[in-house]
Structure 1
Amino acid sequence: MLNLLAYLIGLVSLVIVIPAQLPLLGAINWIALPIIALGVIIGALSSKDGGRNFCLVVLLIAAVRLMLGGGLF
């Protein structure tokens, strides 16, 4: 059950992160990062790894975008 919840949180955060890949919208990633962290924590509490790994991939996408934009854009 926690794995499914981690997938859902990852999906919601992915919906937030995808538009943040556009120029001048990179700051939206700062909103998505706490949600992704919550998904990683819930996924870590699960007995399966899928939800946690999905959240980690979304976290990687958001973090790389923030680094490329200098942390703001």
Structure 2
Amino acid sequence: MLNIISIVIGLVTLALGLVAFFPLLGWLNWLVIPIGIVGAAVGAMSSTNGGRNLNLVLIVIFALRLMLGGGII
């Protein structure tokens, strides 16, 4: 059950993160990354690794986008 919750959190993170890829909305990554961290924590408590891995990949992608944008853009 925790894995399903983690995957749902990951899908919400992905949806918000795709919006953050638009120019001048990079500040949204400051909200997306903590949501992904919560999803990874929930996934870590699960017996399977699917949700945790999804959230970890999303955290890395959106953190890279945040660094490339200088933290704001």
After superposition, the CA RMSD in angstroms is 0.6
TM-score, reference length from structure 1: 0.96
> Aligned residue for 2:26?
26
Name the amino acid aligned to 1:42: V
Query: Among the aligned pairs, what percent are the same residue?
Result: 51
The within-5 A match list for 1:1-73 is 1-73=1-73
TM-score, reference length from structure 2: 0.96
CA distance in 2, matches of 1:46, 1:57: 17
CA distance in 1, matches of 2:60, 2:40: 12
Flag structure 2 segments of 5+ consecutive residues without an equivalent. none
Name the amino acid aligned to 2:41: I
- The alignment partner of 1:15 has SS state of helix
Aligned residues: 73
Deviating beyond 6 angstroms after TM superposition, the runs of 4 or more aligned structure 1 residues are none
CA distance in 2, matches of 1:58, 1:11: 10
